[in-house]
Structure 1
Amino acid sequence: MIVILTGAGLSAESGLGTFSDSGGLWSRFDLNEVATPQGFARDPAQVHDFYNLRRDTCRKASPNAAHRALARLKQALGDDLILVTQNVDDLLERAGAQQVIHMHGSLMGALCNKCDSRWPAPHRMRPDDLCPDCGARATRPDVVWFGEMPRAMEPVTHAIARADLFVAIGTSGTVYPAAGFVDLALEAGAKTLELNLEPSQTHDRFYRSLSGLATQTVPAFVEGLLTSRDHRI
């Protein structure tokens, strides 16, 4: 089994910026005000405006060659590949990948803070939106904010414990618990590979760490894997 974890670097070449990008969307907002439960409680309108903007940007973006390569790999390997992403965009799905595990939720979803119902997000969300199930004015973007627990941790860690190969793509190696996944993989005896624009803070814990644009390194990795079919790295 192969487990692949993707981060913001996978979608950067599609125009979706990372936290570290200067002049990008994230640099223009205080994360404590727009990406925490406390910020939402203080000013839900500001938070909705921020995520409406992110949703618009995501809708205008297109999958790149790295997304398409991973979708191709998923289609080829099926259940032998577990795709996990820290990204809240839907570019992997639009590239053709199915059963993607979104640890941090989805920009394209809405969540009720009162009854936990989920539904597709409208084009614009507002503080006075009603939950379609319970009618409460308690709707929020269906994303994991700072200070909240990432989703699907049990199935993800279980998959890593059974993996033959763990690959991290476009991740900084600074955000836990995902930054610790490589250690889980090593403990399980899996081979480990990092594909990143630059070596991450955890690159020395990988068997191999390759630097370069995701649109170059990921398709080459997928092509090599599909050719060898023995998970060699």
Structure 2
Amino acid sequence: MTRIAVLTGAGISTDSGIPDYRGPQGEWTKEPAAQRLFTYENFMADEGTREEFWRRYEGHPAWEAEPNGAHRAIAGLANVRVLTQNIDGLHQKAGTPARKVLELHGSMHRTVCTACGEGFSTRQILSGGKECPRCGGILKLGVTLFGEHLDAEVIGQARNIAAASEVFLAIGSSLHVEPAAALCAVAVRAGARLVIVNRDPTPYDDMAAAKITEPIGMAVPRLCAELA
């Protein structure tokens, strides 16, 4: 049975109504200044930045989003591991077991205290205060902001999965954010066949055995059917 690893980025969730960041209609394309909200230093230093950050997530479309055909097609693969840059939880909601999903950049469904490390459901926090109920510290969405390092254990596990794969699919990711994007190179150097599904050019196109530019909602179900 072919060992398949799938790296997914924001582009896989746009058909579920969640805007991406860098696409033509992306959040940061339309509002470049919004990127400052996602920088750890800014978030921790300025209460106004934190308030604006939390306002954006109170009504975020991801709360009501449902998995689309691409998520469900990946969930239907028998021997797959998902390495996702997304924080929306839609792979798990589509049926991929949580044990097979590595959330490289964390999850919007969890919030952590930057002082004591206590974890909370983000839904619980959104309906109440934005200070830790345990110690009064600053609460932060359980995701990696610019200026923070990815969890070393998680990225190490991701590299092992990439190196063990026979087919590595990179779907809906600009492949500009490291170290997640470098998983493509890890897979190829270990002998995997890299397939990139993205409308736009990426830094790893030259490594790919195949580059698919048709819409993700069409390409991924077909590709998964072929792999199955």
Q: TM-score range by the shorter chain?
A: 0.7 to 0.9
TM-score, structure 2 normalization: 0.86
Residue 156 of structure 2 aligns to a residue in which SS? helix
Alignment of 1:141-180 (within 5 A): 141-151=141-151, 152-180=154-182
Counterparts of 1:55 and 1:16, CA distance in 2 = 14
Of 3, 8, 11, which aligns to 1:9?
11
Residue 56 of structure 2 aligns to a residue in which SS? helix
Counterparts of 1:214 and 1:165, CA distance in 2 = 18
Counterparts of 1:66 and 1:141, CA distance in 2 = 26
Letter in 2 for 1:104: H
Of 57, 63, 71, which aligns to 1:59?
63
TM-score, structure 1 normalization: 0.85
Unmatched segments (≥5 aa) in structure 2 = none
Counterparts of 1:17 and 1:170, CA distance in 2 = 12
Alignment of 1:97-136 (within 5 A): 97-99=96-98, 100-122=101-123, 125=126, 128-132=129-133, 134-136=134-136
Counterparts of 1:20 and 1:192, CA distance in 2 = 22
| Contact 1:32–1:39 (CA under 8 A) maintained in structure 2 | no
Letter in 2 for 1:142: G
Residue 131 of structure 1 aligns to a residue in which SS? coil
Could you list the per-position Cα deviations for residues 67-120 of structure 1 after superposition, in whole angstroms to 9, with x for gaps in the alignment? 1111222xxx2xx32101001112212212222211111111101101222221
| Contact 1:83–1:101 (CA under 8 A) maintained in structure 2 | yes
Letter in 1 for 2:178: Y
Counterparts of 1:14 and 1:50, CA distance in 2 = 22
What is the aligned residue count?
A: 220
Matched, 1:94 2:90: no
Counterparts of 1:118 and 1:108, CA distance in 2 = 10
Residue 108 of structure 2 aligns to a residue in which SS? strand
> % of aligned pairs identical?
29
Unmatched segments (≥5 aa) in structure 1 = 227-233
Alignment RMSD, CA only? 2.2
Cα separation, partners in 2 of 1:95 and 1:119, compared to 1, 3 Å:
same
Counterparts of 1:127 and 1:138, CA distance in 2 = 14
